[in-house]
Structure 1
Amino acid sequence: MSNIRHLKPAGKAIFKDRYTKKVKELLTGWENEKKGKFGLVGLPLSKPSISHSGASFAPEAIRDAMQSYSTYSGELGVDLLDPILDFGDLEMNPTEIVENQRRLYEGMTDIFATEAVENWFMLGGDHSISYSSIKAFSEHYGKVGVIQFDAHHDLRNTEDGGPTNGTPFRRLLEDHSISGENLAQIGIRDFTNAKAYHDYAKEQGVSVYSMADIRYITMTNILARELRKLEERVDVIYISLDMDVLDQAFAPGCPAIGPGGMDSNTLLEAIFQVAKHPKVMAIDIVEIDPTIDIRNMTSRVAAYAIIQFMKGKNVK
């Protein structure tokens, strides 16, 4: 091996600019007692999806997409060099959906208990993972407010199919892990939900903002209103980002693609704005199926959202 010219270990023969650091290089394996500003964990569950989904492959795809970006923010004039402590992925049972949701809850309970980091990134998986993650988060950190970016309410009943990716927020409300007044849904899309679930959201006191509201009220005003309301009512704020809030042109790798959604710039600016708030401590990113994505477009937006969150936490 030593006599073979130009040979590097497998996976290492990539171009490296000595002056450029990539975001993926910030990923650092977590070990006991290690502390940091940011932590990441994969929740690779997608079998509860109503439609076919390979979202269980997304955590690794998003990690890989981090290699597409440098750590330097020219807009802030700072390098984002805080390590991201990577806890790895929670192990799933090949067949047991309810068992896997219990595993996610138990695993996230243990992970939050480490108090290893100040801010958390949870990579799904489909949106069913948010039930387990938010439930564990609320039990550890106290009363939680949730800002959900989504085309769908995800308030379906569990009688017609069990605990699917369409039910996480219904289950959280019924479990009293969150209250409706502390849940804001942004980006709800026309012709994508049933009247019964829109009515249920209103009955529970959920703040619902459609794509039309984003156009006429503006994202800036919506976020200012909801953050101002939540900061007086909750101990911590959790962001749940369903990537199908984006128009199909920006997120072709979502199982539930459709027209009339948000553009990526609006979403990424929103993530930056919410991350600046001191009570915002966590974000999950869900509903990416890398097996149907085009040139990793959707995973790249997800990776960019993580950087935007980090950028927001670097604003003094």
Structure 2
Amino acid sequence: MSMFRFLKEAGGALFQDRHVTKANEILQKWNGNEAGEVCLIGAPLSKSSISHSGASFAPSAIRKMLSSYTTYSVEENIDLADIKVTDCGDILMHPTDLVQSQERIAETIEQIVTVNPDSLLLVLGGDHSISYPAIRGFRKRWEKVGVIQFDAHHDLRNLEDGGPTNGTPFRSLIESGTLDGNHLIQIGIRDFANSKAYTEYGKQNGVTIYTMKDVRERPIQEIVRESIEKLKQEVDAIYVSVDMDVLDQAFAPGCPAIGPGGMDSYTLLEAIAALGEYGIVKAMDIVEVDPTVDFRDITSRTAAWVIMQFLKGKKKAGWIS
């Protein structure tokens, strides 16, 4: 036994309670081979953002905020302490080449899902541009993929005016043939945040669009159930993409594109827990958190809670042990 009774590992909890397991403690370092039931990986890319963004710092910030929570859900009487979440680390971005960075994301995600075909995938962005390569890589595991996107914006911008930015991931997926527009469902699309041309593009390509008016007027559980029912008839797996700017600026001050009229955090968290209960939901990314402009880590904390809600839904339904 060490003689230094009052020294602790740097970065550990300031206070330790023998009866409490913090959420960050379920993360285990990857040995490069087989992972656990859940694979978590960071994609710290934000140079593709069309607005000022420090979202490349988000993976580390979100991991850190997991330490703010315990693993026990008092509402469901579920403890996540025994879940094995393998933290595969962060994908190394190219310092100057945006397209090369996106290719690295696609290649790495493909490798992860090939080596660990039965693991759930959690990707921490980065800005929303990472969803294009991440879903490309994920699709190597599944022939037909559906996407449920929580977002204030369509992210269907044209590629001619700026190339592959955080405003183009779903345009890129559709036009590359990676994703059928009929298999994309958008929830939380907001007034005065999009152009008519991109709403029309979405409709012409079969995208299902739930605006914030729909979210206000209908129970979110109903929208989730309706979305799942539509996709499960046509796809092999569903990938959930959570752009944190779907939240109202009051709930997500650390998003590059904040604005009023968005979703409240309870509604988003309820939706994510519900989605976790479906076995066909195999992956989720969380994007557009900029810790450099956040206030008291509000947005990073909510993003960490999104992870916990997703895992709670999975455990509640028996998809993970």
Taking structure 1 as the reference length, the TM-score comes to 0.97
Alignment of 1:12-27 (within 5 A): 12=12, 14-27=14-27
Q: Which amino acid aligns with 1:63?
A: R
Match of 2:105 in 1: 104
Q: Deviations over 1:70-122 (max 9, x none)?
A: 00111121211202100000001111111111111111111111116521110
The answer to whether the 8 Å contact 2:78/2:316 transfers is no
Match of 2:114 in 1: 113
Alignment of 1:133-282 (within 5 A): 133-282=134-283
For residues 73 and 260 of structure 1, the distance between their equivalents in structure 2, rounded to whole angstroms, comes to 29
Compared with structure 1, are the counterparts of its residues 3 and 26 closer, same or farther at alpha carbon in structure 2 (3 Å cutoff)?
Answer: closer
For residues 135 and 33 of structure 1, the distance between their equivalents in structure 2, rounded to whole angstroms, comes to 22
The answer to whether the 8 Å contact 1:35/1:117 transfers is no
Q: Deviations over 1:150-196 (max 9, x none)?
A: 00000000100110000000000001111111100000000000000
The answer to whether the 8 Å contact 2:221/2:270 transfers is no
For residues 5 and 74 of structure 2, the distance between their equivalents in structure 1, rounded to whole angstroms, comes to 38
Match of 2:38 in 1: 38
Match of 1:51 in 2: 51
Greater CA deviation, 87-96 or 133-142?
Answer: 133-142
Greater CA deviation, 77-86 or 232-241?
Answer: 77-86
Match of 2:299 in 1: 298
> How far off is 1:42 after superposition?
0.1
For residues 40 and 168 of structure 2, the distance between their equivalents in structure 1, rounded to whole angstroms, comes to 24
Match of 1:79 in 2: 79
The answer to whether the 8 Å contact 2:65/2:304 transfers is yes
> How far off is 1:282 after superposition?
0.4
Secondary structure of 1:141's aligned partner: coil
Q: Which amino acid aligns with 1:217?
A: R
Aligned length: 315
**Structure 2 unaligned blocks of 5 or more:** none
For residues 13 and 256 of structure 1, the distance between their equivalents in structure 2, rounded to whole angstroms, comes to 33
Q: Deviations over 1:27-50 (max 9, x none)?
A: 101114433211100000000000
Compared with structure 1, are the counterparts of its residues 136 and 75 closer, same or farther at alpha carbon in structure 2 (3 Å cutoff)?
Answer: same
Secondary structure of 1:314's aligned partner: helix
The answer to whether the 8 Å contact 1:149/1:245 transfers is yes
Match of 2:127 in 1: 126
For residues 225 and 13 of structure 1, the distance between their equivalents in structure 2, rounded to whole angstroms, comes to 42
The answer to whether the 8 Å contact 1:36/1:117 transfers is no
Secondary structure of 2:209's aligned partner: strand
> How far off is 1:221 after superposition?
1.7
Q: Deviations over 1:210-252 (max 9, x none)?
A: 0001112331221111100111100000000000000000000
For residues 274 and 8 of structure 1, the distance between their equivalents in structure 2, rounded to whole angstroms, comes to 39
**Structure 1 unaligned blocks of 5 or more:** none
